[in-house]
Amino acid sequence: MGKPTGFLDYNRKNNLGTGPLERIENYNEFHTPMDESHRCRQAARCMDCGVPFCQNGKPIMGMVSGCPLNNLIPEWNDLLFNKQYDGAAHRLLFTNNFPEFTSRVCPALCEAACTCGLNGDPVTVKENENFIIEYAFSSGMMKPNPPQVRTDKKIAVIGSGPSGLACAAQLNMRGHNVTVYEKDDRIGGLLMYGIPNMKLEKNIIYRRVNLMKEEGITFITNANVGKDIKPARLLKEYDAIVLCCGAGNPRDIKAEGRDAEGIYFAVDFLKATTKSLLDSNLQDGKYISAKGKNVVIIGGGDTGNDCVGTSIRQGCKSVVQLEMMPKLPDERSENNPWPEWPKVCKVDYGQEEAIAKFGSDPRVYQTTVKEFVKDEKGSLKGVTTVKLEFVYDEKSGRNIMKQIEGSEKFIEAELVLIAAGFLGPKQYISEAFGVETNQRSNIATREGHYSTNVDKVFTAGDMHRGQSLVVWAIREGRDAAYEVDKYLMGYTGL
């Protein structure tokens, strides 16, 4: 423990960010790292707890608190405070293949479980992590490290999102010959096209992928396995296949007028914007534009927030975000004590920008769409919303949502974005490989395992556990690699 009184001597300070009205003029990342001395002080706040809940990553009252990767947080915070940056990076990379991703997009489950947060502000774990990995890249420490010995085993990883990349990295490290297939034109999956540029600039992904290529991993893009590439060919050519295709089947909103022109899934909206931005800096016009439009976003989660921020950058006229659930309290309630995940209302970057631009939080709670209203040409001109309330249902023994009669309201909108979550992976993939699925349409395995009912075929990530976080996808990819390696070699060193 570098400084036993650090948590008493220093207050939490976050990286400064560009102001909302300034940053909406572009799609760049907007947080500015603090200087070295101040960052080391933030690391000094780590208490080196006897029981470090931050790295535990276990469910508490149904929600995970702490890092699912079991990152050795007190260790690298201590090394960071003592300016032993190479050692800090080594310990960080020991458990996390891609800290440059998690330190940008993870909601920081570690900080929610930090002991400092019991009676004050938690340690800036996420920003400390970002400092360490960016130092490792800028200092030249992150050099290609291909395996010294190769096995004769060939593995195909289908999907290049965080689970696929983590699985490929681990198996390559063991000396296996790994090929990653990606259906899109760029590597990264969710990281590339599901997360907007202002949260994760794509040069960060290119930097890591280039490193993985130099370490011997082969990447094939525009390869839609299950459609353009037959599974039978892959099963014959490879010793093992790992399906890491994500949960790409969006949940729809079934309401009258759903066929109106101007209604899109959030994933299509975000992907089209990012692709056009990367291809032509939005000059090709091949994206769904919110410019000059009243926008309604259905869904109050991270994807909905990303749609808010993207719509504002495109120049929308107004934006409303509908949330079916009630507003969470601003501070922890008594029945939500530390170290449980804090069920509190947060104002994310998109909402912050909407407040600065339009003067109010865009979120409307306990509300859903009752009807999509069309004009005479079939184009969307607005939505009729209705308020919701929770009512106890004696048959199921649960509270269910019920519409409140007479609470209907018309909201003008020329663009609606559905960000209501996902229902699992695209079914053509599981059908093509003949793998079994569970009642949630995810690929089925034994609990705690990653092998499917088809010999040689494994799975990981969102198509295995359902829609989740990048940090969970990395953990799944690492664990699947462990099981694949053991299957191929009879033992594993991972």
Per-residue exposure over 69-95, b if at least 16 CB sit within 10 Å of its own CB, e if not: bbbbbbbbbbbbbeeebebbbbbbbeb
Read off the pLDDT of each residue in 81-102 and give the average, rounded to a whole number: 97
The pLDDT value given to residue 187: 98
pLDDT over 80 at 211, yes or no: yes
Q: What is the pTM of this model?
A: 0.96
- Per-residue pLDDT of 116-134, as tens digits, reads 998 899 999 999 999 999 9
Average pLDDT, the chain: 95
Is the per-residue pLDDT at 423 higher than 90? Answer: no
Q: Which residues contact 397 (CB under 8 A, 6 or more apart)?
A: none
Q: Give the pLDDT band of residue 62 (cuts 50, 70, 90).
A: confident
Write out pLDDT tens, residues 300-322: 999 999 999 999 999 999 999 99
Residue 1 reports pLDDT greater than 80? no
Q: Does 285 score more than 90 pLDDT?
A: yes
pLDDT at 378 over 70: yes
Least confident among 57-71, 206-220, 354-368:
57-71
Compute the distance between CA of residue 477 and CA of residue 242 in angstroms, rounded to an integer: 9
Residue 178 scores a pLDDT above 80: yes
| Percentage of residues of the chain with pLDDT beyond 90 | 91
Distance between CA 38 and CA 6 in Å, rounded? 12
Mean pLDDT check: name the lowest of 46-55, 226-235, 368-377.
46-55
| Residue 48 pLDDT exceeds 90 | no
- Residue 427 main-chain phi, psi, to 5 deg: -70, -25
Q: Is the pLDDT of residue 386 over 90?
A: yes
Q: Are 196 and 243 in contact (CB under 8 A)?
A: no
The arithmetic mean of pLDDT across residues 425-439, rounded, is 94
The answer on pLDDT for 286 being more than 70 is yes
Residue 424 reports pLDDT greater than 90? no
Looking at the DSSP bridge assignments, the partners of residue 264 are: 417
| pLDDT of 396 | 81
DSSP H stretches of helix in 96-245: 99-105, 109-112, 125-138, 162-173, 202-214, 231-237
Q: What's the distance, CA 334 to chain centroid?
A: 29
Rounded Cα gap, residues 320 and 298, in angstroms: 9
What average pLDDT does the segment 458-485 reach?
97
pLDDT, average across residues 331-349: 93
**Once rounded to an integer, what is the mean pLDDT over residues 42-47?**
94
Residue-level pLDDT at 184: 97
Residue 3 pLDDT: 85
Supply the pLDDT for residue 2. 67
Looking at residues 461-471, what average pLDDT do you find? 95
Domains identified in the chain and CATH numbers: 6-138 (1.10.1060.10), 154-248+423-489 (3.50.50.60), 263-418 (3.50.50.60)
Backbone φ and ψ of 243, nearest 5°: -90, 115
Q: Give the angle subtended at the CA of 363 by the CAs of 269 and 402, to the nearest 5°.
A: 100
Q: Band the pLDDT of 394: cuts 50, 70, 90.
A: confident
